[in-house]
Structure 1
Amino acid sequence: MRLTQLAVLAIATSLLTTALAVAAPGLRDSGPPQQGRAIHSAGDLAVLPGPARVEVENRILADRLDTLLPRLMAESGLDMWLVINREYAEDPVYFTLVPQPSFAARRTTMLVFSRKADGTVERLSVNRYPLGGPYTAAWSGGDLDAQWKALADVIVSRDPKRIGINTSRHWPVADGLTAGLDARLREVLPSDFASRLTPAEPLVIRWLETRTAAESEIYPHVVALARGVIAEAFSTKVITPGVTTTAEVAWYIRGRFEALGLPIWFFPDVNLQRPGIACKGDEGFCGVSGVIQRGDVLHTDVGICYLKLCTDTQEMGYVLRLGEAAPPAGLQAALAEGNRWQDLLTGAFVTGRTGNEILARTLEASRKAGIRGSVYSHPIGFFGHAPGPTIGMWDNQRPTPVQGDWRLNPDTAYAIEGAIWRGVPEWGGQLVHMKLEQSALFDGKTVHYLAGRQTEWHLVR
């Protein structure tokens, strides 16, 4: 018997709700030391089929437009926000604003957000293909000249004092209005209205970086899927010591995500370290490609996006030698030191601090603790490398202008990313490079690892 689409959606939603109940406890942990969590497989975690994803994504979008956007427009001091783009040259923020399924800004699509006296935001679309859903069509059709005239009429009739447009010198995500469209907009507006145009940069960044309550409920599940596939890859299900290569493991990870219907936003990286392959420390990343052998340390870096939310995860594995039941004590100490470094970084998260201030405090705390570490954390969300405060860069441990000066806000998500170098006695004192990264949410007071963090080695037996 064939299930109706509604029945499939009901079942899928039920599965997601059940899975979230399992995935969410990390948000309730009392502090960083309690947030370790081992996830062994992605096989037990629900992944919604396409139609069910659309329903979830559109429900979250409606909530964001109804509750978040009015607050952020008031915060940014904008009376109107224009998002104007064309097919094949979509504004980076466009797909975060329109309902699914949507594959392009067909022809020329114009979105108008107008703040009303009561604080609510009127949402209009001026385009040949009405978006429906949360938008009211403000144009009945015609040629391109008529479309631009309709946009000008909408703007003039509402008489906004400050009109935000997506132009920015420093933030790519806030620079989506092309030069041609910007020039045409200024041509069709009366001169006194053209002078009201102002960069919408603060609004765009706040819209993209802020996570709603609904997104915070779902995010742990998304991150758990990424961590589950890593656990599968760093196991004998995938690796035969002496046979399997790092490239084959990377392709397994990509194929596994593809089979689950989870798009990656960069190709997975897998590399190894072992005694005899020198790690100089503080001079870039340690790790090489090749055939995986017993006694090797493994590292991977993966990123997926699901229900519009992206992850960025790095974890470490160890291939047991014959007779070993656990990694050498030196490697276990290195992971513990990496966790301690994470605690120092997340402990510096305080609302209102800039990314540069968090970096400086973490580096100073690491120095006092005798930890040789490097910090290169960044926001995540609708993009893997999302806007918000940059907290160091792998090739710059000094202040980052502009992006590093952005202040930390509540309800924002981050890749807690960086590394430590530590000598391993069992390797004759050779350094191991512990490259760690976990997705986390900052609620304004505490950093919560969305699906726990790695506190134990993945073991290939």
Structure 2
Amino acid sequence: MTLVAPDPTRTVPLPLREQADVRDRWLTQRLLDLLPGLMDRAGIDLWLVVGREYNEDPVLATLLPATWLSARRRTILVLHRSDDGVTAAAVSRYPVGQFLPAWSPDAGGRPPAEDAQWAEVRRIVEQAAPQRIGIDVSADFALADGLSHTEHRRLTEALGPWADRLVPAEDLAVGWLETRLPEEIAVLDRLNRRVREVVEEAFSPAVLTAGVSTGTDLAWWLRQRLSDLGVEPWFHPVVDVQRAGVAPRCEQGALLPAVPFDVPVEPGDLVHCDVGLSSLGLKTDSQRNGYVLRRGETDAPAGLRQALAVGNRLQDLTTAELVAGRTGNEVLAAVRCAAAAEGIDGDVYSHPVGVHGHGAGPAIGRWDDQRGVPGAGDRVLHPDTVYALELCVRVPVAEWGGQPVRMALEEGVALTEDGVSYLGDRQTELLLIPDA
């Protein structure tokens, strides 16, 4: 197993230095090709992104060069929209990659360097004379709410009368975070395939031993395997089990797995995992399902296979409604209506994924609330975005005495001008795990 190269057709190892080159090239391309249109769409002609070391604005982290693993002291990035595109300048003690250095603390004189840094921001704003100055504050998206209270106070004090032109940059920040380059989408396709390969290895006799391996064992194996491959998980993997005759547990209002995580997997079990990895500054989020064959079985019971088919059908209904220009809540309502018409009992709780696993952008339901998501669900879908198509269905299984099975599915999908496409291979058949 190897790291993912920027060319999705290759599987050669990609050293960290080459990964940094790719990420920096992507950043340059995004600044040149994406940012002008995003600023125009948001109606912002100057964007200020401010963060301090160890308290970085989430947006700031996506604008820093790959060799910067955090901000340094106070880093202020100024992105000015003009007829020539976007001028990207850094008001920072240290050079910031391809950003134009706009201030040097070693120029001498008074006031102290920190005050001089803010004074330089004021000078740049006065020279640009913007009508709307975007800052990262948002009630609906934590990822677009990165300007801290102290930095907001210092900024407004420094700008004086120009502070009246400060506006939330939520639309711009979300657009920047959710929009993907074609090359990024191609790499996400490869990353999703890599997840599938790792899960197939986990759900095999080489790793899973019936009567011995527990969900906890398999989760830790997945985490260790991804770490060893250099594609770190961004959350601890989850492996849960459903078993005939064992009903799900409910404690303090929370629905828990039917089989406790520390109980060994047995033949006849439905095994499910939720896994996400990180590579090249991008995240994946996907789920897979497998069945542990009983002795003499060559396939999963028809009822379990039907449950997966129903889940696939709900995926079809959802992707049919993923149309640019609709809001997440509109998509959710349309899918639920279509599912009800076909008698499908299920929930949809899909979300953007890319720079962050649970990314900024339109929310399409939540697992614990199918009425729509205020704020985040009211956002409009845009092309060149990637979603984790996450949902579940509940289907009675005849072979289990009519016991309902919760079939949970999650796949990466890209929404482009050409429509919706799956990233990696969509699961349409259960992974079969022989009882060794």
Please give the range of the TM-score, normalised by the shorter of the 2 chains.
over 0.9
User: Is residue 114 of structure 2 the alignment partner of residue 144 of structure 1?
Assistant: yes
Secondary structure in structure 1 of the residue aligned to 2:5:
helix
- Match for residue 135 of structure 1 among 86, 99, 107: 99
Partner of 1:72: 38
Q: Which runs of 5+ in 2 are unaligned?
A: 107-112
Mean Cα deviation higher: 282-291 or 439-448: 282-291
CA deviation map 1:19-70 (0-9, x unaligned): x137xxxxxxxxxxxxxxxxxxxxxx44422111101111111100111001
Partner of 1:173: 143
User: In 2 relative to 1, CA 82–277 (structure 1 residues): closer, same or farther, beyond 3 Å?
Assistant: same
TM-score in terms of structure 1 length: 0.89
User: Is residue 404 of structure 2 the alignment partner of residue 431 of structure 1?
Assistant: yes
Partner of 1:243: 212
CA distance in 1, matches of 2:87, 2:299: 60
Secondary structure in structure 1 of the residue aligned to 2:336:
helix
CA distance in 2, matches of 1:53, 1:251: 26
Partner of 1:9: none
Contact 1:286 1:433 in 2 (8 A): no
Figure out how many residues of one structure are paired with residues of the other and give that number. 423
Contact 2:6 2:183 in 1 (8 A): no
User: Is residue 328 of structure 2 the alignment partner of residue 339 of structure 1?
Assistant: no
Partner of 1:154: 124
CA distance in 1, matches of 2:363, 2:19: 31
Secondary structure in structure 2 of the residue aligned to 1:75:
helix
Partner of 1:164: 134
User: In 2 relative to 1, CA 441–261 (structure 1 residues): closer, same or farther, beyond 3 Å?
Assistant: same
Secondary structure in structure 2 of the residue aligned to 1:190:
helix
CA deviation map 1:328-355 (0-9, x unaligned): 1111111111111110111111111111
User: Is residue 22 of structure 2 the alignment partner of residue 21 of structure 1?
Assistant: no
CA deviation map 1:260-288 (0-9, x unaligned): 11121110000101111114999846443
Secondary structure in structure 2 of the residue aligned to 1:335:
helix
Contact 2:328 2:381 in 1 (8 A): yes
Q: Which runs of 5+ in 1 are unaligned?
A: 1-11, 23-44
| Cα drift, residue 117 of structure 1 | 2.5
User: In 2 relative to 1, CA 443–347 (structure 1 residues): closer, same or farther, beyond 3 Å?
Assistant: same
Contact 1:419 1:434 in 2 (8 A): yes
| Cα drift, residue 441 of structure 1 | 0.3
Partner of 1:89: 55
Secondary structure in structure 2 of the residue aligned to 1:265:
coil
Secondary structure in structure 1 of the residue aligned to 2:406:
strand
CA distance in 1, matches of 2:389, 2:13: 25
Partner of 2:202: 233
Contact 2:365 2:373 in 1 (8 A): yes
Secondary structure in structure 2 of the residue aligned to 1:452:
coil
CA distance in 1, matches of 2:6, 2:120: 44
Partner of 2:363: 390
Contact 2:249 2:258 in 1 (8 A): no
Instruction: Tell me which amino acid in the other structure corresponds to 2:9.
Output: A
Indicate the percent of aligned positions where both proteins have the same amino acid.
45
| Cα drift, residue 365 of structure 1 | 1.0
Contact 2:247 2:258 in 1 (8 A): no
Instruction: Tell me which amino acid in the other structure corresponds to 2:57.
Output: D
Secondary structure in structure 1 of the residue aligned to 2:347:
strand
Mean Cα deviation higher: 48-57 or 292-301: 48-57
